[in-house]
């Protein structure tokens, strides 16, 4: 369950540790976050390792355990660098545990990783994703450590700290003989069900006695008989650290299921174990234990989550509840104000500025700008010397200021959104009403400092998250789905040396200190690089000397690469800094320098607003990564005046004109050209430029691929509108129609009636037999034209009566136009295919340009109907092929009945089969209640109406033929010869579904048809033989 935790298998060890022998891994995009205000590090959850994290944090905050582990040096454990050497003895588990503890104590990161440690256990990724029981892990981990530390000075580490002894005694009531048995323990398991708390559970285990009496007697070894006796247990030896597991998971034998006991179960902060011990004469201090860790399980018996409450014995963390820390900050700020210090505290000023903002967060640079406007002096000049950089100051007050994840935006937390009235010095003139129970009283007494707290502070370590809690919060874990699961007590006598308090470096070996120092230096470097990268922006500088203005936009006179200079700069720098950097890059620049925002458009580069305000930050003026900036004199480029701003954006328009009609091509062809116009150009100006000789202009707002319905005519009253106001954008198309092309347009409605890029034509031939000559007409259509419209157009073009529309349909016809049956499809070209549903479009009917359609008599099927061919029997010469239209939801039986009715047949002795590729009767449609759609019967399929009723599912119908001797036998032929002849003839027979008798091949044998028998497909030949005996007896009265 825990992999090879007992094995020292070096193949699982990772060399990814600080120092030498690093193993390259994919580099993270960002360095890990630093520790939060608690100054304690959490542990990352690998997917299901919360139980491991809780136990490791408990061991870390057991100072005696971690110091004993740190006391084992490389001379005893080896080094991780030597783990790959074949002859080196390296004790991987304690080494990885040392490194992890050092990281948790010293490395400035929010959460440490246990990947290297679990790899040393031999765990796979599957093990890391599975959650196990923390009590079982505690025992296995201790056992693995003991095994790994054999032969070192730490061989007795676990026993020295956690080993205890329980003695079980049975006392004979007659001879007073005492029989006892000792049991070693590293942890105690106590009952929860039916017990009020820990003291009662221990009382039941180590004070209450069990009596052997009446029918339940004890055999005394001294008396050699059954006697009355008493049984009890006592704690003989107490360990320095007592681990207690609460038996919260039980089994309900009535329901046959596991369940979690969630009833109230109390446990004390301090406990006196004297009543439960065998020896009670020592001082009380020998029996006093203090709680320092509670592992909590949240969830049920089949899964959940572990976290741990830990008392910070060495006071390594910064314990400060948010409301108390807020009070301290506010009190300090007000006291500083009252004392009239020369340099005021900026806290109230910043809070006042943020409280006036409607947005939840504003850019940090914008906050600095507002401070400059409010106070008349920048942060750097007034506060930086005493309080540091503005962003760092905000980060140091996370209880008041809410920073975005990238640290670029800031806002007030909800409890501090108070309105302020500020004077010019940033001091409160009037205190607002109290909100959210926040007290603004400078006389409020702050809580006791950390140094005088006697190590009584508690923290909740929940994987990566660490937060302070109060001691009374432990009571919340007495009961419920989230409740205490393991308790860890330490002897009250164990005192910590003064030098260990608040000192995470205490007793850590020198090599680990150096390793962590190097790791912290690397982290700071990476964070600085990440900060620079996250705040660095790349700007593209376009130099006016490399551009020329033509066709409504700026275009590089050289290549794009030669015309653009890239510059990387911190977004927190000012516009003046940017201007200075550009001047330094362009040493030969003369005259004024204007920086304008630019944007590459399809027409070319266009300029927008000029960047002003050298004291503003680049982020404050909205410069983003990848922004384009044009460097020029602000007036002209290459002697040409340049119009800037959104009102003069150039727009690329596709101008289409009709080419001459090509009969064999794709309908109408076009000539296409691109023109550039300013978005402020009027349509009248555009019309004069594109159609000086007259004509009309149509717009298609959806571009070159637009459909006909999107084309509309610009009327005379539209000529005063601008390109932008009528919705012309880059890529839009306009169509110029001269006078001879205007037949396509209904000018009155302003719509294009018969023009689209998908114009095509179809041929329709008359097969209705109304006239002797079969006429052929050409119909113009689009891919969206409905077949019923094509039929009506064809009827009009053929000058037929319109009443024929209800009695005719369209069917695709092949090349020579002959109306042939589908049976001749593979032999003769030009056959007529099934009717096309009239609600289909040309696209849905899969018709290509120039396709030939036949106008035939008969009603076209709907899209939910199937056009099918059928014949009676598989011989086409004997049975002509017929047609039928049926609903696709009709059943096989219903379809068969319609075919029988059309064929003039009746009766139930028929079934349907498909026509196979050999044009013979193939697979039977045996599911007569299934629909044609369910059986994938498609439009145009051919079915065969076959005589005979299908057997039930799983049965076969087999014809039986009997072979018998002729009525007179040949001269000299004996009975045995006749039998041999019959046997030979039977071998020549094959089972056939046909009813026709096989041809006789022996003059001395005759065949007699006995009929058909129905038999299961899984029946044996013996079953077939026995079933065949009955018709033989009925016909002949004997068996051959």
Q: Active site includes 305?
A: yes
The tokens describing 983, both together, are 């046997």
- Catalytic, out of 132, 155, 163, 305: 305
836 with 846: CB under 8 angstroms? no
- Catalytic, out of 18, 50, 220, 277: 50
CB atoms within 10 A of CB 84: 13
296 with 302: CB under 8 angstroms? no
CB atoms within 10 A of CB 127: 19
| Residue matched to tokens 């939910």 | 864
- Cβ contacts of 706 within 8 Å, gap of 6 or more: 700, 733, 757
- Buried-exposed string 359-381: b where 16+ CB fall within 10 A, e elsewhere: eebbbbbbbbbbbbebbeeebee
DSSP letter for each residue of 301-363: TTEEEEEEEEE-TT--S----HHHHHHHHHHHHHHHHHTT-SS--THHHHHHHHHT-SSS-EE
Ramachandran category for residue 303: left, alpha or beta (phi over 0 → left; psi -120 to 50 → alpha): left
307 with 462: CB under 8 angstroms? yes
Give the Cα separation of 476 and 478 in Å (integer). Answer: 6
212 with 230: CB under 8 angstroms? yes
**Closest by CA position to 97, among listed 125, 47, 62:** 62
Give the Cα separation of 569 and 626 in Å (integer). Answer: 11
75 with 427: CB under 8 angstroms? no
350 with 390: CB under 8 angstroms? no
The tokens describing 823, both together, are 């049976």
| Residue matched to tokens 């200079």 | 565
DSSP 850: T
DSSP 47: S
Instruction: Answer positive or negative: Cα dihedral of 799, 804, 809, 815.
Output: negative
Q: What is the SS3 assignment for 512? A: helix
Q: Do the bridges between strand 733-737 and strand 711-713 make them parallel or antiparallel, or are there none, so unpaired?
A: unpaired
Give the chain's length.
Answer: 1040
Rg (CA), the chain: 48
Residue 333 dihedral angles phi and psi, to the nearest 5°: -65, -40
**Closest by CA position to 790, among listed 709, 851, 727, 702:** 851
Residue 299 dihedral angles phi and psi, to the nearest 5°: 135, -155
**Closest by CA position to 495, among listed 288, 699, 694, 331:** 288
Give the Cα separation of 269 and 470 in Å (integer). Answer: 13
The end-to-end CA distance of the chain, in Å, is 73
789 with 860: CB under 8 angstroms? no
| Residue matched to tokens 């730490």 | 154
Instruction: Answer positive or negative: Cα dihedral of 1016, 1018, 1021, 1022.
Output: negative
The tokens describing 163, both together, are 């080993």
- Distances in whole angstroms, Cα of residue 296 to Cα of each of 50, 258, 482: 11, 19, 7
Residue 534 is inside which H or E element, if any? helix 510-535
Known catalytic residues? Answer: 50, 305
């Amino acid at each position: 369950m825990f992999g090879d935790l007992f094995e020292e298998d070096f193949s699982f060890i990772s060399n990814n540790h600080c120092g030498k022998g690093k193993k390259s891994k994919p580099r993270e995009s960002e360095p890990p976050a630093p520790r939060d205000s608690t100054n304690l590090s959490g542990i990352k959850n690998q997917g299901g390792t919360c139980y491991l994290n809780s136990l490791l944090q408990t061991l870390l905050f057991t100072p005696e355990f971690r110091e004993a582990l740190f006391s084992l040096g490389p001379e005893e454990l080896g080094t991780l660098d030597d783990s790959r050497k074949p002859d080196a003895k390296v004790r991987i588990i304690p080494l990885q545990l040392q490194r992890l503890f050092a990281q948790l104590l010293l490395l400035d990161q929010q959460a440490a990783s246990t990947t290297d440690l679990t790899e040393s256990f031999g765990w796979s990724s599957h093990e890391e994703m599975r959650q196990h029981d923390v009590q079982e892990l505690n025992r296995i981990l201790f056992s693995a450590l003991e095994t790994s530390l054999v032969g070192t000075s730490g061989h007795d580490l676990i026993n020295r700290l956690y080993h205890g002894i329980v003695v079980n005694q049975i006392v004979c009531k007659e001879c007073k003989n005492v029989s006892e048995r000792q049991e070693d323990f590293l942890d105690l398991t106590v009952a929860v069900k039916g017990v009020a708390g820990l003291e009662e559970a221990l009382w039941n285990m180590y004070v209450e006695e069990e009596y052997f009496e009446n029918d339940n007697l004890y055999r005394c070894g001294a008396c050699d008989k059954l006697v009355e006796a008493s049984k009890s247990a006592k704690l003989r030896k107490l360990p320095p650290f007592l681990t207690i597991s609460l038996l919260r998971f039980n089994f309900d034998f009535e329901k046959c299921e596991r369940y979690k006991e969630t009833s109230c179960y109390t446990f004390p902060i301090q406990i006196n174990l004297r009543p439960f011990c065998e020896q009670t004469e020592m001082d009380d201090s020998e029996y006093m234990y203090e709680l320092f860790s509670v592992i909590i399980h949240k969830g049920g018996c089949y899964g959940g989550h572990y976290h741990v409450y830990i008392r910070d014995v060495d006071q390594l963390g910064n314990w400060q509840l948010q409301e108390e820390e807020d009070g301290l900050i506010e009190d300090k700020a007000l006291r500083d104000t009252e004392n009239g210090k020369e340099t005021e505290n900026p806290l109230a000023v910043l809070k006042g500025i943020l409280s006036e903002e409607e947005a939840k967060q504003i850019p940090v640079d914008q906050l600095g700008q507002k401070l400059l406007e409010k106070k008349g002096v920048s942060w750097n000049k007034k506060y930086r010397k005493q309080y540091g950089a503005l962003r760092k100051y905000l980060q140091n007050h996370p209880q008041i200021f809410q920073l975005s994840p990238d640290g670029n935006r800031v806002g007030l937390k909800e409890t501090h959104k108070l309105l302020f009235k500020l004077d010019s010095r940033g001091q409160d003139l009037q205190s607002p009403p109290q909100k959210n129970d926040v007290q603004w009283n400078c006389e409020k007494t702050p809580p006791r400092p950390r140094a005088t707290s006697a190590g009584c502070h508690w923290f909740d370590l929940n994987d990566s998250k660490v937060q302070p809690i109060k001691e009374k919060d432990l009571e919340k874990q007495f009961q419920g789905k989230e409740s205490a699961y393991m308790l860890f007590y330490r002897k009250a006598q164990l005192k910590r040396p003064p030098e260990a308090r608040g000192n995470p470096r205490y007793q850590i070996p020198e090599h680990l200190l150096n390793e962590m120092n190097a790791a912290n230096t690397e982290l700071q470097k990476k964070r600085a690089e990440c900060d620079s990268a996250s705040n660095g922006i790349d700007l593209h500088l376009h130099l006016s000397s490399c551009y020329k203005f033509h066709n409504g936009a700026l275009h590089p006179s050289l290549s794009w690469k030669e015309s653009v200079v890239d510059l990387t700069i911190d977004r927190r720098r000012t516009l003046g800094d940017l201007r200075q950097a550009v001047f330094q890059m362009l040493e030969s620049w003369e005259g004024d320098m204007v920086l304008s925002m630019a944007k590459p458009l399809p027409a070319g580069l266009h300029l927008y607003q000029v960047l002003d305000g050298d004291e503003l930050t680049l982020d404050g003026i909205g410069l983003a990564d990848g922004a384009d900036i044009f460097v020029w004199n602000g007036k002209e480029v290459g002697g040409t005046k340049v119009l800037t701003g959104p009102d003069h954006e150039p727009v690329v328009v596709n101008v289409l004109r009709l080419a001459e009609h090509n009969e064999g091509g794709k309908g109408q062809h076009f000539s296409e050209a691109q023109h550039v116009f300013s978005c402020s150009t009027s349509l009248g100006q555009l019309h004069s430029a594109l159609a000086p000789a007259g004509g009309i202009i149509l717009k298609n707002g959806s571009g070159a691929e637009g459909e006909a319905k999107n084309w509309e005519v610009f009327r005379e009253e539209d000529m005063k509108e601008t390109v932008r106001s009528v919705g012309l954008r880059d890529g839009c198309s306009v169509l110029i129609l001269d006078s001879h092309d205007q037949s396509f347009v209904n000018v009155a409605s302003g719509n294009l009636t018969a023009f689209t890029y998908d114009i095509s034509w179809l041929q329709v031939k008359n097969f209705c037999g109304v006239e002797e000559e079969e006429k052929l007409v050409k119909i113009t259509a689009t891919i969206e034209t409905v077949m019923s419209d094509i039929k009506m157009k064809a009827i009009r073009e053929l000058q037929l009566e319109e009443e024929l529309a209800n009695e005719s349909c369209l069917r695709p016809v092949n090349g020579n136009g002959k109306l042939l049956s589908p049976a001749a499809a593979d032999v003769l070209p030009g056959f007529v295919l099934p009717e096309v549903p009239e609600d289909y479009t040309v696209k849905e009917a899969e018709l290509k340009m120039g396709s030939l359609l036949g106008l035939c008599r008969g009603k076209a099927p709907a899209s939910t109907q199937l056009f099918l061919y059928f014949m009676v029997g598989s011989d086409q010469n004997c049975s002509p092929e017929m047609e039928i239209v049926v609903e696709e939801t009709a059943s096989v039986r219903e379809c068969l009945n319609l075919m029988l009715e059309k064929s003039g047949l009746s009766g139930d002795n028929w079934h349907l089969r498909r026509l196979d590729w050999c044009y013979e009767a193939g697979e039977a449609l045996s599911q007569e209640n299934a629909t044609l759609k369910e059986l994938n019967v498609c439009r145009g399929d051919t079915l065969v109406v076959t005589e005979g009723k299908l057997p039930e599912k799983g049965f076969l119908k087999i014809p039986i033929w009997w072979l018998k001797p002729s009525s007179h036998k040949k001269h000299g032929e004996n009975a045995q010869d006749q039998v041999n002849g019959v046997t030979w003839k039977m071998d020549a027979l094959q089972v056939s579904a046909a009813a026709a008798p096989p041809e006789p091949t022996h003059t001395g044998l005759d065949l007699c048809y006995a009929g058909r028998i129905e038999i299961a497909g899984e029946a044996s030949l013996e079953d077939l033989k026995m079933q065949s005996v009955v018709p033989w007896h009925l016909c002949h009265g004997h068996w051959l």
